[in-house]
Amino acid sequence: MRASHLEDFYSFLRFPSISTDDDYSERVSECAHWLVEKLTGIGLKAELVPTPGHPIVWARNQHREGRRTVLIYGHYDVQPPDPLELWDSPPFDPVLKDGYVFARGATDNKGQILSHILGVQETMEQRNELPVNLHFVIEGEEEIGSGNLGNFLHQHRSELGCDVVVVSDTGMIAPHTPTLSYGLRGVAALELKVTGAKIDLHSGIFGGAVANPATALAQLLATLHDRNGHIAIAGFYDDVAPLEDWEREAWKKLPIDVDAEVLKETGAPALFGEAGFSTLERIWARPTAEINGVGGGYQGQGTKTVIPSHAIAKLTFRLVPNQKADEIIALAKKHLEKNLPAGVTLAMTSGHNGPWYLTDPYNRFGQAAQRALQKAFNAQVALIREGGSIPIVSDFRNVLGVETLLLGLALPGCRAHSPNENFPLENLDAGIRMNQAVMEELATLR
């Protein structure tokens, strides 16, 4: 690892580029300016594209006729570091321990996108040019839903014309195991508010005479699943595409004991999920209905004997091919209205959503990516789906008309979005090799 590369990584990580908190807007902008300077310094034409929110960094080389065009996407914004007391070191003061750099954003997504930037830098230093026409599009709003990136793609559609998109914002199935993710789940959010009395009530005076919204909400949420983990919403599974036989067989051969790893990573006492499916199938290829938050009534120390006037819950549904977010939300609302206990009212508010993504890992771009990964890591490539969502990859397909190669460098224990987020330096090196190998493979692809 070149000392200058490590210093670049540290400098990048020191920016508290927290996109969701307006108090950090100036620091987010400073991080974007740092990227522009870095990309300009390695020989690209780079600019800051303003948006109604945080700016987009757009860089490109000199495009030449007859060469393949590749767009590399990433993001420079990060999640808030809270709770700070659970960090072993300050989240924006990067620390190197046992080959891992600890800092907020180390894996998600600064280490991963920087590996591509450094790969391009080394190629430019060695050859004074790249084998492909290249775009870097690095946004500052991924962690808050990429609200302005779609407009950027539409506005610059002709200039951004490319053959394929490369994204490193996903994971590796295990250390030293190159991984191509060819599928992502979609997501749809729904908020509930169950209301009873117009104010909190004394539970001794009114208990037994009026419905308790917290109790009603608990009863309502309990109707979402049966005891075997199946979602009990009528019609929820109607459009779910079944797994291909080759996928099921390939996943069985992956070099990892998934059940043991999930238990180790989560600390959960046991695994639980939809009956009839393996852990990987549940995570990667089956839809879910999750309760992300519940609130209502007195939350302070000790006891306050009230019947709360209302209770709230936040839900998200992870979606798989061929489910549609608006249809799933409509089915969920119908189910919840049908099962609402007496004595309360229900208000429902739809939240953000993003579509699932699925591509063929054996198309010509997927095969090129697999060759590049094998070359970079000198190991057999794992083909996986992932349980998370990256809605922007569907925009790349719908707006630019191209597929996305998801070449993750995050390890299972990277702790993205959690305290003590980390990224191994060997993956920064591997990412540099991967970038160069992918560019070469795509350049020679016919």
* CATH number of the CATH domain containing 65: 3.40.630.10
* 277 belongs to a structural domain: no
Which residues of the chain have a pLDDT value below 70?
none
For β-strands 69-75 and 133-139, DSSP reports them as parallel
Angle between helices 3-14 and 112-127 (to 10 degrees): 140
* 142 belongs to a structural domain: yes
- Do both 220 and 110 map to the same domain? no
Q: Which domain holds residue 312?
A: 186-240+287-354
Which residues pair with residue 75 across a beta bridge?
139
Residue type for position 444: T
Which domain-ending residue is among 324, 354, 384?
354
Three-state DSSP string of 89-133: CCCCCCEEECCEEECCCHHHHHHHHHHHHHHHHHHHHHHCCCCCE
* 252 belongs to a structural domain: no
pLDDT in tens, 166-191: 999 999 999 999 999 999 999 999 99
Quote the pLDDT of residue 373. Answer: 98
Query: Average per-residue pLDDT in the chain?
Result: 96
Cα separations (Å) of 230 from 135, 221, 290, 425?
Answer: 44, 14, 12, 41
- Do both 178 and 194 map to the same domain? no
- Do both 324 and 368 map to the same domain? no
At which residue do the structure tokens 């790893």 appear? 261
Give the Cα separation of 19 and 180 in Å (integer). 28
Q: What's the token pair of residue 18? A: 């927290």
Which CATH number goes with the domain that contains 302? 3.30.70.360
Quote the pLDDT of residue 265. Answer: 84
Cα separations (Å) of 401 from 133, 172, 359?
Answer: 17, 27, 13
For residue 73, the surrounding DSSP H or E stretch is strand 69-75
* 255 belongs to a structural domain: no
pLDDT in tens, 282-328: 999 999 999 999 999 999 999 999 999 999 999 999 999 999 999 99
- Do both 107 and 213 map to the same domain? no
- Do both 83 and 177 map to the same domain? yes
For β-strands 56-60 and 69-75, DSSP reports them as unpaired
* 269 belongs to a structural domain: no
Contact 26, 45 (CB under 8 A): no
Give the Cα separation of 365 and 163 in Å (integer). 9
Query: By CB neighbour count within 10 A (0-12 exposed, 13-18 middle, 19+ buried), where does 436 fall?
Result: buried
- Do both 323 and 413 map to the same domain? no
What is the total count of domains within the chain?
2
Question: Kindly report the CA angle at 419 between 415 and 420, in degrees rounded to 5?
Answer: 70
Contact 83, 135 (CB under 8 A): no
- Do both 195 and 156 map to the same domain? no
For residue 367, the surrounding DSSP H or E stretch is helix 364-377
CB atoms near residue 49 (< 10 Å) = 15
Which domain-ending residue is among 319, 335, 354?
354
Task: Mark residue 5 as left, alpha or beta (left: phi above 0; alpha: psi -120 to 50; beta: remaining).
Answer: alpha
* 397 belongs to a structural domain: yes
- Do both 90 and 37 map to the same domain? yes
Quote the pLDDT of residue 330. Answer: 98
The pTM of this model reads 0.88
pLDDT in tens, 385-422: 999 888 889 999 999 999 999 999 999 889 999 999 99
Which domain-ending residue is among 334, 354, 374?
354
- Do both 317 and 346 map to the same domain? yes
Q: What's the token pair of residue 26? A: 């100036």
* 177 belongs to a structural domain: yes
- Do both 104 and 232 map to the same domain? no
- Do both 99 and 214 map to the same domain? no
- Do both 228 and 140 map to the same domain? no
Quote the pLDDT of residue 292. Answer: 95
Q: Tell me which residue of 26, 34, 80, 25 sits closest to 57, measured CA to CA.
A: 34
Query: What length is written for the chain?
Result: 446
Give the Cα separation of 234 and 353 in Å (integer). 21
Quote the pLDDT of residue 308. Answer: 98
Q: In 18-111, where does DSSP find H-type helix?
A: 25-41
Quote the pLDDT of residue 352. Answer: 87
* 58 belongs to a structural domain: yes
